[in-house]
């Protein structure tokens, strides 16, 4: 069931961005991506959102204007003509666009904006000097409100119920797709919107990855330690028609999206027993998770968490298998999560901005063994004032089917 945010949610979001704009001498920010528009306006209709460094933001809508008027929590107007968008902005914000000799610096979400749209905007708003504001936008969204945390927590409860349904139906010989169908039926019946959004270019996912044995370790384009074989080269990730065998690892990396907000969770299952080699690797993944939890507090840098995980994998003699294998290893331990799966911060080298209360992180230590499968775990956490709170509610264990 949809839960509407409190009215001050939208004001607080705009104010956070406006503080960032002022700190960076940016006169305003134009948001073109659907998810970004939804974050600031509460509506995902087609258009552009403009947030000035001071004053009221405006949602300029192309379609559907009627629905945007009904949904939007901020000032909403019809976009008269894209060709005249610059004139419309200048009319609405004369203090920013009044001087032809001093063009205002306008930020935009250039990390996701198509080049063609950028060129058209530069032509339609010639009085602006454009700057990439994607880091500011992602930084603002990295710290969640109590409403956002509640939605992610609710999604975690839905995933837990769906996982239980999947385990109850798990049988030797069923296909990965059949197992996913059981889980997705439970997720959808509880309000999962049916997809989980990603910001990364050409990265896409529906509900997650369920893969058994060597299919889980099959490399793919997806930027994660386990991509899955997929149903065809047209969808080379996730579940396949492969049958699930006895004594092989089954990775169940699934999420749920409620009112736009996503949880990310991985649990292992098996029909029978894991081999000693895979059982040991799973226990190392648990060790990395516990060690990460001890560092998970304000002031720790994302890079510290990743480096510690690398050291523990090396001590266990599993460096070659950590977060993928060979050239297909990924260079992170986890990621921020919220409206998109791949939000900031990333638990990786180069991310040295300290963690802050309100950040939500998915931590996913996994080990890939070509020809055998993938083992690991993933939990979603909230960084609190004094440490962390786990948002994932599914018990942390290797799940056994009734056939075991």
Per-residue pLDDT band at 219 (split at 50, 70, 90):
confident
Q: Please write the tens of the pLDDT for every residue from 50-106.
A: 999 999 999 999 999 999 999 999 999 999 999 999 999 999 999 999 877 889 999
- In this prediction, residues 272-283 reach a mean pLDDT of 97
pLDDT tens for each residue of 279-322: 999 999 999 999 999 999 999 999 999 999 999 999 999 999 99
The model's pLDDT over 258-267, given as tens digits with 9 standing for 90+, comes to 999 999 999 9
pLDDT at 100: 76
Pair type for strands 46-52 and 28-31: antiparallel
What pLDDT was estimated at residue 1?
55
CB-CB contact of 368 with 226 (8 Å): yes
Strand-pair partners of 368: 374
CB 159, CB 394: distance < 8 Å: yes
Confidence at 403, pLDDT banded by 50, 70, 90: confident
Least confident of 180-194, 217-231, 278-292, 325-339: 217-231
- Best CA proximity match to 270, nearest among 393, 167, 396: 167
Domains of the chain: 8-141 (3.40.350.10), 143-400 (3.90.230.10)
Q: Which two tokens stand for residue 63?
A: 């379609």
Give yes or no for residue 48 having a pLDDT over 70. yes
- Helical ranges in 61-111 per DSSP H: 65-71, 85-92, 94-97
Q: Which of 28-42, 169-183, 192-206 has the lowest mean pLDDT?
A: 192-206
User: What confidence category does residue 206 fall into, taking pLDDT thresholds of 50, 70 and 90?
Assistant: confident
327 band by pLDDT with thresholds 50, 70 and 90: very high
State the average pLDDT over residues 170-199.
96
How many Å apart are CA 174 and CA 260, to the nearest integer? Answer: 31
> What mean pLDDT do residues 163-189 have?
98
Q: How many residues are listed for the chain in this entry? A: 404
């Amino acid at each position: 069931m949809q839960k509407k945010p409190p009215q001050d949610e939208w004001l607080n979001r705009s104010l956070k961005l406006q503080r960032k704009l002022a700190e960076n001498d940016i006169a305003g920010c134009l948001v073109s991506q659907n998810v970004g528009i939804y974050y600031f306006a509460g509506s995902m209709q087609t258009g552009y959102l403009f947030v000035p460094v001071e004053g009221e933001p405006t949602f300029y809508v192309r379609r559907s204007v009627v629905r945007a008027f009904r949904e939007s929590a901020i000032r909403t107007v019809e976009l008269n003509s894209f060709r005249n968008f610059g004139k419309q902005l200048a009319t609405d914000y004369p203090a920013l666009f009044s001087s032809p000799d001093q063009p205002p610096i306008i930020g935009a979400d250039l990390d996701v904006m198509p080049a063609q749209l950028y060129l058209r905007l530069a032509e339609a708003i010639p009085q602006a000097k454009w700057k990439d504001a994607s880091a500011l936008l992602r930084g603002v969204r990295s710290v969640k409100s109590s409403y956002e945390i509640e939605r992610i927590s609710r999604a975690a409860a839905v995933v837990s119920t769906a996982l239980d349904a999947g385990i109850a139906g798990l049988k030797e010989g069923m296909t990965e797709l059949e197992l996913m169908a059981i889980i997705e039926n439970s997720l959808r019946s509880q309000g999962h919107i049916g997809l989980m959004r990603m910001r990364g270019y050409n990265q896409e996912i529906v509900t997650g990855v369920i893969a058994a044995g060597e299919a889980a370790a099959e490399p793919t384009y997806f930027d994660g330690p386990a991509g899955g074989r997929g149903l065809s080269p047209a969808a080379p990730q996730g579940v396949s028609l492969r049958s699930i065998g006895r004594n092989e690892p089954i990775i169940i990396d699934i999420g749920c999206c409620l009112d736009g907000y996503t949880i990310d969770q991985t649990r292992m299952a098996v029909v029978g027993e894991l081999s000693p080699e895979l059982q040991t690797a799973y226990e190392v993944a648990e060790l990395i998770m516990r060690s990460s939890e001890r560092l998970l507090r304000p002031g720790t840098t994302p890079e510290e968490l990743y480096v510690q995980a690398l050291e523990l994998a090396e001590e266990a003699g599993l460096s070659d298998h950590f977060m993928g294998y060979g050239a297909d290893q990924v260079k992170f331990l986890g990621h921020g999560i919220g409206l998109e799966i791949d939000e900031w911060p990333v638990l990786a080298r180069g991310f040295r901005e300290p963690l802050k209360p309100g950040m939500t992180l998915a931590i996913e230590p996994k080990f890939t063994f070509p020809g055998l499968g993938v083992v690991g775990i993933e939990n979603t956490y909230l960084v609190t004032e004094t440490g962390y709170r786990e948002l994932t509610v599914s018990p942390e264990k290797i799940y056994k089917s009734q056939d075991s």
